[in-house]
Amino acid sequence: MSTPSSSIESVLVENRVFEPSAATVASARISGMPAYEALCAEAAKDPQAFWARLARENLGWHKPFTQVLDDSQKPFYKWFADGQINASWNCLDRHIGTPVENKTAIVFEADDGAVTRVTYKELLARVSQFANTLKAMGVQQGDRVVIYMPMTIEGVVAMQACARIGATHSVVFGGFSAKALQERIQDAGAVAVITANYQMRGGKELPLKAIVDEGIAMGGCESIKKVIVFQRTPTACNMVAGRDVLWHEAIAGQSTECAPTFVGAEHPLFVLYTSGSTGKPKGVQHSTGGYLLWARLTMLWTFDLKPEDVFWCTADIGWITGHTYVAYGPLAAGATQVVFEGVPTYPNAGRFWQMIEKHKVTIFYTAPTAIRSLIKAAEGDEKVHPKNWNLDSLRLLGSVGEPINPEAWMWYHRHVGHERCPIVDTFWQTETGGHMITPLPGATPLVPGSCTLPLPGIEAAIVDEQGNDVPNGSGGILVVKKPWPSMIRTIWGDPERFKKSYFPEELKGYYLAGDGAVRSADRGYFRITGRIDDVLNVSGHRMGTMEIESALVAKTDLVAEAAVVGRPDDLTGEAIVAFVVLKRARPTGDEAKALAKELRDWVGKEIGPIAKPKDIRFGDNLPKTRSGKIMRRLLRAIAKGEAITQDVSTLENPAILEQLAQNN
C-alpha cells in the first residue's frame, strides 16, 4: 500500500487496493470474483433467461409473466409486461406467515430523538388502512398522487398505500418551494396531495401545508381534489373546507385490511421529478415489476443483506435513493431499517455516529457530502469525532450521489469502518432505478474513489461521441448498451424528450447516462468524472443550470440575463455560480451584496434553498460569440478563478472577462 503524495495525484493515480476479507467472502451471497463473473457470464449468454430467472425468484407474481423483454417499440422497452403484480404486496403481505411478520420493519428516529417502531404486520395494517382511506376519497388506479412529506413512518405508508391501490405517486422533496411543487402537481395532473402540517429539522418547525396552499393557489392545480394533512406537530395549520382533511381523522373507521390491486408489470409505480439540461424538470417514470426486482435484488447483492442486519440509508424519500433504499428495497427484502427525520448536524455533528451506536446499525449508506461535512466537524471538535461512539455493529458502509474523493473515502474507511467494513461506492441515477456500477462487498477489491464494476446484467461502457468503445485509460461518455428491468420508462407526458435525452441517435441506441467516466488501465474499474451536460451536482442534489437561469430571469424587474455554471467545492462537490446582467447599471460594493442576497432569496423561493447560488457576479454583459452564444467554458474558468488560457478569438466582447473575474 502506498500513500499518494497529493490529493490531485490521488484522484488520477489511485493505487491503494483493499481486498475483501476471507470471512466476508465466505459469508457473502455473491462470494468472490468468480461468483460475480459467473453471474455476468449468465447474463451475457442469455439476458432474457437471466432476468426471467431473477424476476421469478425474487418477486411474487399474481399472474406470472410469459414475455420477458419487449423491445418492439425501443427505446420504450417493456419488461415482464403480461405479468401482474403489486409492489406493496411484495413489500408487506409476502412476509406474513413467515418469521419476518413480527420483525421490526422500521425504527423511526425523529428530529428530537424520539423513537417509534413498527413491525411488518403493523406496517401492513397501517398501509392497508391508509389505502382504504385513499380509495374512500375517490383516488383510483392510475391516478397520480403528490406526496410532500417529511421523513416519517407515514411518508413510507403513503407511498406504499398508493402502490397498493395502483395509484402512481410523485414524491416532492420537502425542501422544494411552492412554485416547484405547483409545477410538479400540474405536470403530473395529480388528484391529491399528501402532506404534513409542519416538518421538524434541526429543532426548527418548518411549514409544509402552508407551502401546499401557496402552490395550489398559484393556479393550474384544478386536478387536486383532496389534501390529506398528517399532523406532525401540535401546531394548527390552515384547512380548506371540503378539500383538506387531517390524516388521523381520515383513517378513523377505515378497515386495516385492503386487498392489493394487481397491476401490469409496466404500470407506473411512480413519477419522480429530476433536473435535466433544460429549464423544466423531467418526470422520470418507473415501472412496477422491473423497478421492484432491482430494488430487492440490489439490497441482496450490493448490501449482501442478512436477516439480522439493521440497515440505515440516510436519504430523504423525496429523492430516488429514498424510494429504492427506504420505501421499497429494504421492505421487499424483509430488512429492519432505520428511518431518520433530522439532519446530521443536530443536536451536534455526532448524530449519525450516536444513532449507529444506539440502533446497532450494521449497514450504513450515506452521501459523500455528509461524510465531508462530518469530517470537517470532527476535525474542528474532538467531541463529535466518531471515535466517541461504539461503531462495532457496523459491517458495511455505502456511498451514493456523487463521486467520493479518496481522502473522504479513507477517512470513512478508518474512522467509521475501522478498516474492517467494505465501502460500496454505488453509482446510479434517478433514471436507473437502482445501483448500476458498484463493488460487491464479498467479491470486489476496492479502490478509493472508484465505483469499480457494473452489476451482473448491466452492460455499462465508455464510448466516444460516435458510440465507439474507447480503450481503458481514456475518458469518454458513460453509456449502458443493453436495456435492464429497472430503467426509466419515459418522461411523464414527454416521450420525445425521453428519446432525445437518453437515446440520442449518434449513440447506436445506447442509454446515455449524462456522465463522463474513465476505466482504469489495470482493472477496468470505472471512475465517474462528473456530468457532461448542463446538470450540476451540489451536495448530491441534482440541479439544472438552465433551471436556475430561468428562475433568475423570471425576476423580470431586475434581471436581463443570467448564466449559471458549476465550480468544484471541497464540501458540496460542486457550487453554483451565477453571472448576472441587470436591467440597471452594474452594481458594486454594498449594492452588489444586497442585490446578490435578493437574487439568492428569489431563487430559494422559485426552486428551493438547495438551488441558491453560492456566488453571484454582476457584469455589463456575458462573454458571447459573435453569433450570440454564451461561452460557458470561459465562465467556468472564471468561476474557478483560473486565468483564461483558452482561445477567445471568437469572443465578441473580450473585455468582459476581466470585469467578471474581478467582480465579487
CB of 350 or CB of 449, closer to ligand WT7: 449
Neighbours of 527 (CB within 10 A): 22
Pairing of strands 244-246, 226-230: parallel
3-state secondary structure of 605: helix
Please pick, from the candidates 273, 294, 427, 492, the single residue that binds ligand WT7 as defined by CB under 6 A: 427
On whether 103 is known to bind a ligand per the annotation, the reply is no
Least distance from ligand WT7 to the Cβ atom of residue 400, Å: 5
Contact positions with ligand WT7 (CB under 6 A) in 30-69: none
Beta-strand pair 615-618/78-79 = unpaired
In three-state form (DSSP H/G/I as H, E/B as E, the rest C), the secondary structure along 22-70 is HHHHHHCCCCCHHHHHHHHHHHHHCHHHHHHHHHHHHCCCCECCCCCEE
What DSSP assignment string belongs to 463-484?
E-TTS-B--TTSEEEEEE-S--
Q: In the numeric block, which cell numbers belong to residue 269?
A: 409505480
CB of 432 to ligand WT7, least distance (A): 8
CB of residue 86 to ligand WT7, shortest distance in Å: 25
Nearest to 509 by CA among 486, 490, 481: 481
Question: Contact at 8 Å (CB) between 619 and 606?
Answer: no
Given 10, 274, 405, 452, the residue binding ligand WT7 (CB under 6 A) = 274
What distance in Å separates the CA atoms of residue 526 and residue 535, rounded to the nearest whole number? 20
Write down the least CB distance from residue 317 to ligand WT7, Å.
13
Looking at the Cβ atoms of 289 and 540, the one nearer to ligand WT7 is 540
Least Å from the CB of residue 266 to ligand WT7: 21
Is position 281 an interface residue for ligand WT7 (rule: CB under 6 A)? Answer: no
Residue nearer to ligand WT7 on the CB measure, 480 or 563: 480
Taking CB under 6 A as the rule, does residue 574 contact ligand WT7?
A: no
Bridge partners (DSSP) of residue 399 are 366, 425
Question: In the structure grid, which three cell numbers stand for residue 99, read together?
Answer: 418469521
Q: Which span sits near ligand WT7 by CB under 6 A: 15-23, 400-408, 484-492, 636-644?
A: 400-408
Say if residue 215 carries a ligand binding annotation.
no
Which of residues 32 and 406 has its CB atom nearest to ligand WT7 in the complex?
A: 406
Instruction: Verify binding: residue 542, ligand WT7, rule CB under 6 A.
Output: yes
The annotation status of 427 as a binding-site residue, yes or no, is yes
Is residue 188 within the footprint of ligand WT7 (CB under 6 A)? no
602 labeled binding residue: no
Nearer to ligand WT7, 16 or 103 (CB): 16
CB of 564 to ligand WT7, least distance (A): 17
What whole-number distance in Å separates Cα of residue 518 and Cα of residue 474? Answer: 6
Which residue, 32 or 322, is less far from ligand WT7 as judged by CB?
322
CB of 315 to ligand WT7, least distance (A): 7
Length of the chain: 664
Q: Point out which span in 206-214, 314-322, 386-394, 458-466 binds ligand WT7 (CB under 6 A).
A: 314-322
- Residues 517-536 vs ligand WT7: string with x where CB under 6 A? -----------x--x-----
Please tell me whether 403 is known to bind a ligand. yes
Whether the Cβ atoms of residue 508 and residue 556 lie closer than 8 Å to each other: no
Where residue 235 falls (left for φ over 0; alpha for ψ -120 to 50; beta otherwise) is beta
By C-beta, is 63 or 500 nearer to ligand WT7? Answer: 500
CA separation for the pair 263, 267 (Å, rounded): 6
Q: Which stretch binds ligand WT7 (CB under 6 A): 89-97, 395-403, 406-414, 617-625?
A: 395-403
Residue 383 buriedness (CB in 10 A; 0-12 / 13-18 / 19+)? exposed
Q: Smallest distance from the beta carbon of 103 to ligand WT7, in angstroms?
A: 27
Q: What secondary structure, in 3-state letters, does 406-429 show?
A: HHHHHHHHHHHCCCCCCEEEEECC
The residue (of 192 and 272) whose beta carbon lies closer to ligand WT7 is: 272
- Find how far residue 19's CA is from the centre of its chain: 28
State yes or no: 559 annotated in a binding site: yes
CA 472/CA 455 separation, integer angstroms: 18
Which phi and psi (to 5°) does residue 478 adopt?
-80, 125
Nearest-angstrom CA–CA distance, 44 and 40? 6
Name residues whose C-beta falls within 8 Å of residue 53's C-beta, 6 or more positions apart in sequence.
none
- Show the binding pattern over residues 448-467: x = contacts ligand WT7 (CB under 6 A), - = does not: ---x----------------
8-state DSSP, 259: -
Report whether 329 belongs to an annotated binding site: no
Q: SS3 helix, strand, coil % of the chain, rounded to 5?
A: 35, 25, 40
**402 annotated ligand-binding residue:** yes
Q: The cell 438552465 sits on which residue?
A: 546
Residues 297, 450, 516: CA angle, nearest 5 degrees: 95
Residue with cell 481503458: 472
Q: Is 48 marked within a binding site?
A: no
Among 14, 309, 357, 515, binds ligand WT7 (CB under 6 A): 515
- What whole-number distance in Å separates Cα of residue 418 and Cα of residue 391? 8
Q: Is 182 a residue that touches ligand WT7 (CB under 6 A)?
A: no
Q: Which is nearer to ligand WT7, 393 or 429 (CB)?
A: 429
- Residue 197 or 486 with smaller CB distance to ligand WT7: 486
Q: Which of 523, 547, 545, 546 lies closest to 536, judged by CA?
A: 545
The only residue of 386, 514, 608, 613 in contact with ligand WT7, by rule CB under 6 A: 514
Question: Does 428 belong to an annotated binding site?
Answer: yes
Query: Is 293:486 a contact under the CB 8 Å cutoff?
Result: yes
Residue 403 or 454: which CB sits closer to ligand WT7? 403
Does the footprint of ligand WT7 cover residue 430 (CB under 6 A)?
yes
**Residue 336, marked binder:** no
Please tell me whether 498 is known to bind a ligand: no
Span interacting with ligand WT7, options 29-37, 141-149, 508-516, 618-626, rule CB under 6 A: 508-516
Q: Residues 480, 482, 488, CA angle at the centre, nearest 5°?
A: 70
Question: Is 605 marked within a binding site?
Answer: no
88 or 450: CB nearest ligand WT7: 450
Measured distance CA(511)–CA(513) in Å, rounded: 6
Of 199 and 274, nearer to ligand WT7 (C-beta) is 274
List b or e across 351-360, with b for residues whose CB sees 16 or more CB atoms inside 10 angstroms.
bbbbbbbbbb
Minimum CB–partner distance for residue 78 and ligand WT7 (Å): 23
Contact 235, 205 (CB under 8 A): yes
Check the annotation: does 542 bind a ligand: yes
Contact string (CB under 6 A) for ligand WT7, positions 119-158, x = contact: ----------------------------------------
Q: How far is the CB of 401 from ligand WT7 (least distance, A)?
A: 4
Q: Residues marked as binding? A: 201-204, 321, 401-403, 425-430, 515, 531, 539, 542, 553, 559
Binding residues for CoA: 201-204, 321, 539
Binding site feature residues for Mg(2+): 553, 559
Q: Name the residues that contact ligand WT7, by CB under 6 A.
A: 274, 319-321, 400-403, 425-430, 451, 513-515, 528, 531, 537, 542
List the binding residues for ATP. Answer: 401-403, 425-430, 515, 531, 542
